[in-house]
Amino acid sequence: MGLGTWGSGFGAKGRERRYPPFPPNLRALLICLHVFSSRLQSDLAINRLAVAVERARGGGHPFIDLTESNPTRAGFDYPADLLAPLGDCRGLCYAPEPLGVLDARRAVASDYARRGVSVDPERVVLTTSTSEAYSLLFKVLCDPGDEVLVPRPSYPLFEHLTGLEAVAATPYDLEYHGRWAIDLGGLARAFSPRTRAVVMVTPNNPTGSFARQHEIAEIASLCAAHHAALVADEVFADYAWSPEAARLAGRVLSVCEALVVSLGGLSKAVGLPQVKLGWMAVGGPDATVRQLIARLELACDTYLSVSTPVQLAAGELLARGAAVRRQIQARVSANARELRVRAARAPSTEALVADAGWYGVLQVPSRVPEDDLVVSLVEEDGVLAHPGYFFDFSRESFLILSLLAPEDRFAEGTSRLLRRFA
Ligand SMILES: Cc1ncc(COP(=O)(O)O)c(C=O)c1O
């Protein structure tokens, strides 16, 4: 079930609507203030939806999970020997390379080449995950109290990823006018003297919108003018729902004027989140790129967190994992189509237009608050969906549906949802 997939059971997003309700125990609050840092919120209560899900599970009430974002639990056919390359006996020898072994960095560069993007392997840095890449980048780019601009709506983990590095996340908006676009004026106004980076997710989670080339160019100019880096999370880049959508996607690593870092990983590229290999590919002005890589080398050397076996296996895993990626591509495209068709038949709902990714966004009538809606969907309709507010949608009501569910389950889940609004 997807509530835990982003690490926190969306604890952060449950904060405003916590269950059971505040007020807190004053003594516990004082202990927290004295013992712990303020990098994480002090209230760790789980949200109402997670409580409802636990109750449904405990009570033996089955539901269709349209929040599942863990591909290894979504019924794909993983070849039994897919992970065999991890057994390479060269892995018995430990010869640490802070940026990653060159063969693995070459394999990642070849994977970018598969998507038509040219990257020098020397500009590739390995991490255990995209989350770790964010953490390293925020460490080397930001001092405590600096800020990064993050998209809204977007990936709920930014609140933790920035908070854990003592960095402030300032939102900039994506707006929907028949398709999603970045509010470039708002983004320009969001810069402050403490802005060290702009984070862009392309295609974005959950809106499924690729940043277009003109958006990337304009953001790169703003970054250059403010001496900020552009961090582009491209983990879903392989999941365009049509060739036309892929064609219209902007190329982040074509940016020359600003420091730019593209993020990716096995987690999404080949559906292997448990294997723990992510990467950064760095672009931009040569001198600044060299400086960033030198700093990342020192930061990576401090942890040496990427295991030797996974680095030695990287090339093989990327090659063999293509079989899994193709299954995921076929399923998310089919489910996105299904959602569009079914929503079009239900006059009060709309499937928002998108290009790519593992999620669909359904706009629904605001008859009750989203929080109540998602709980009653679990309890009364037997279907679990995420509310838009988990992803910081600026208004209600939106439901976010994972497109990873097997097609028949997805069709049944969406018809249960849509019946409610008929
Ligand atoms: C936009 C985005 N970036 C990164 C990740 C996580 O990637 P990783 O498993 O490499 O940390 C996710 C996971 O859902 C995501 O949605």
Q: Give 28-57 pLDDT, tens digit per residue.
A: 767 766 799 999 887 788 899 999 999 999
Minimum-distance ligand 1 atom for the alpha carbon of 264: 10
First to last CA, the chain: 27
pLDDT of residue 46: 86
Out of 320, 339, 366, a domain closes at 320
Q: Is residue 201 a contact partner of residue 154, using CB atoms and an 8 Å limit?
A: yes
Q: Are 258 and 220 in contact (CB under 8 A)?
A: yes
Domains in the chain, number:
2
Is the beta carbon of 402 within 6 A of some atom in ligand 1? no
Domain boundary among 279, 300, 320: 320
- Shared domain for 165 and 246, answered yes or no, is yes
Say if strands 229-233 and 260-265 run parallel, antiparallel, or are unpaired. parallel
Co-location of 250 and 150 in the same domain = yes
Rg of the chain on CA atoms, in Å? 21
Nearest CA to ligand 1 atom 13: 6
DSSP string, 272-310: -GGG--EEEEEES-HHHHHHHHHHHHHHHHHH--S-HHH
Number of the ligand 1 atom closest to the C-alpha atom of 265: 10
Instruction: Write out the residue range of the structural domain in which residue 410 sits.
Output: 2-77+323-421
Nearest Cα residue to 238 out of 66, 75, 358, 71: 358
What is the total residue count of the chain?
A: 422
Q: Is the CB of 68 under 6 A from ligand 1?
A: no
pLDDT < 50: residue spans in the chain: 1-5, 7-12, 14-22
Gap from CA of 278 to ligand 1 centroid (Å)? 10
Are 187 and 219 in contact by the 8 Å Cβ rule? The answer is yes
Tell how far the Cα of 235 is from the centroid of ligand 1, in angstroms. 7
Contact 413 CB / ligand 1 (< 6 Å): no
136 and 22 in a common domain: no
Q: What gap in Å lies between CA 350 and CA 366, rounded to an integer?
A: 13
Residues 257, 269 share a domain? yes
pLDDT for position 41: 82
- Tell me if 278 CB under 6 Å of ligand 1: yes
Res 24: pLDDT: 56
Number of other residues whose CB lies within 10 A of the CB of residue 101: 18
Query: Which residue's CA is the closest to the ligand 1 atom numbered 15?
Result: 155
The reported pLDDT for the residue numbered 173 is 98
Instruction: Please tell me the predicted confidence (pLDDT) of residue 12.
Output: 42
Task: Out of 130, 202, 386, give the residue to mutate to test ligand 1, the one with the largest number of ligand atoms within 8 Å of its CB.
Answer: 130
Strand extents, DSSP E, 40-167:
64-65, 124-127, 147-152
> Are 42 and 22 contained in the same domain?
yes
Among 273, 295, 320, residue at a domain's last position: 320
Co-location of 277 and 302 in the same domain: yes
**DSSP-assigned states of every residue in 45-63:** PPBHHHHHHHHHHHTT---
Amino acid at 143: D
CATH code (residue 131): 3.40.640.10
